[in-house]
């Protein structure tokens, strides 16, 4: 496994990391434990969750697993806080996450999405206080556009506060929110990049072309349907299907490989409901097709 520093931080994270959105929401504790055990065995050392995942269920499962397995020293933990942001909410949400995960410090605490309140000085001071108090090591942001990132960094700089170390965005063949502009800016500013949903919540597997099962994530999170079931998504899926026919490589492996072989992305989150979903990513990392054919 290859490891890289996450931006200017001291977090040296695996190139393939574990997204924990399914824990406690789509799979039970035993199934979640099996995936985390296997991820650790494969060398994945960054686990990413959020207070919103299962309304805290994911954090609870991770906390129980770490305590039972004594794995806290072996991994970095990232979680997120939902907007809107206020000083009181920031402090309380962080304390709740710490309690659910049964830890004293979060390695990477992230704003889950942009909101106008993210640009309030008192909000940034509150996040900085968490760093000073030893409750979080580093601050990151998620689901920010390049312009929103620039505004956030400028305010941090103007206030003399600790700079964020990472940007986490949705990035796959259908939705490319870690585009060249974003990645170039991150590199210039010493910010790490975290991509999530390399398979577009399963959309890029092609299995939802005709129907969406009741237990699929697109029904659990209906808002995701509008992100993918549109003209741009259909075009991406069509091109992916053509590439799979041309290469005799599965759509899953090609979609994963397109993200995992991007040298500009620090780490990619993969998750799922079964251990085999982790194996898919490691197999795809060795698919060389996109290394010379990356312009989809």
- Decide if pLDDT at 94 tops 80: yes
Band the pLDDT of 69: cuts 50, 70, 90: very high
Average pLDDT rounded to a whole number, residues 63-83:
97
Average pLDDT rounded to a whole number, residues 41-50:
98
Band the pLDDT of 252: cuts 50, 70, 90: very high
Q: What is the pLDDT of residue 290?
A: 57
Q: What is the pLDDT of residue 215?
A: 62
Domains of the chain by range and CATH?
A: 3-202+251-292 (3.20.20.100)
Q: What is the pLDDT of residue 226?
A: 78
Average pLDDT rounded to a whole number, residues 67-91:
97
Q: What is the pLDDT of residue 10?
A: 96
For residues 167 and 225, the model is more confident at: 167
User: Percent of the chain scored above 90 by pLDDT?
Assistant: 84
Model confidence over 186-215: pLDDT tens digits? Answer: 999 999 999 999 999 889 998 776 556 666
Task: Please tell me the distance from the alpha carbon of residue 168 to that of residue 138, in angstroms, as a whole number.
Answer: 14
- Decide if pLDDT at 175 tops 80: yes
């Amino acid at each position: 496994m290859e490891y890289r520093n996450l931006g200017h931080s001291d977090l040296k994270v695996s190139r393939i990391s574990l997204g924990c959105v399914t824990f406690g929401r789509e799979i039970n504790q035993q199934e979640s434990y099996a995936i985390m055990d296997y991820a650790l065995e494969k060398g994945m050392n960054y686990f990413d969750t959020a207070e919103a995942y299962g309304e805290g269920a994911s954090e609870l499962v991770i906390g129980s697993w770490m305590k039972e397995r004594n794995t806290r020293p072996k991994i970095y933990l990232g979680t997120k806080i939902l907007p809107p942001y206020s000083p009181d909410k920031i402090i309380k949400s962080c304390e709740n996450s710490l309690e659910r995960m049964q830890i004293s410090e979060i390695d990477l605490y992230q704003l889950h999405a942009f909101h106008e309140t993210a640009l309030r000085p008192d909000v940034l001071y509150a996040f900085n206080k968490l760093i000073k108090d030893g409750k979080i090591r580093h601050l990151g942001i998620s689901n920010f556009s390049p312009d929103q990132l620039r505004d956030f960094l400028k305010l941090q700089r103007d206030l003399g506060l600790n700079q964020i170390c990472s940007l986490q965005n949705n990035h796959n063949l259908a939705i490319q929110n870690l585009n060249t502009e974003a990645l170039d800016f991150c590199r210039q500013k010493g910010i790490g990049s975290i991509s999530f949903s390399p398979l577009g919540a399963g959309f890029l597997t092609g299995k939802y072309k005709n129907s969406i099962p009741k237990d699929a994530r697109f029904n659990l999170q209906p808002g995701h349907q509008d992100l993918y079931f549109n003209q741009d998504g259909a075009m991406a899926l069509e091109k992916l299907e053509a590439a799979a026919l041309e290469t005799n490589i599965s759509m899953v492996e090609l979609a994963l490989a397109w993200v995992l072989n991007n040298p500009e992305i620090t780490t990619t989150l993969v998750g799922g409901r079964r251990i085999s979903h982790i194996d898919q990513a490691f197999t795809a990392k060795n698919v060389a097709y996109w290394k010379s054919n990356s312009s989809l």
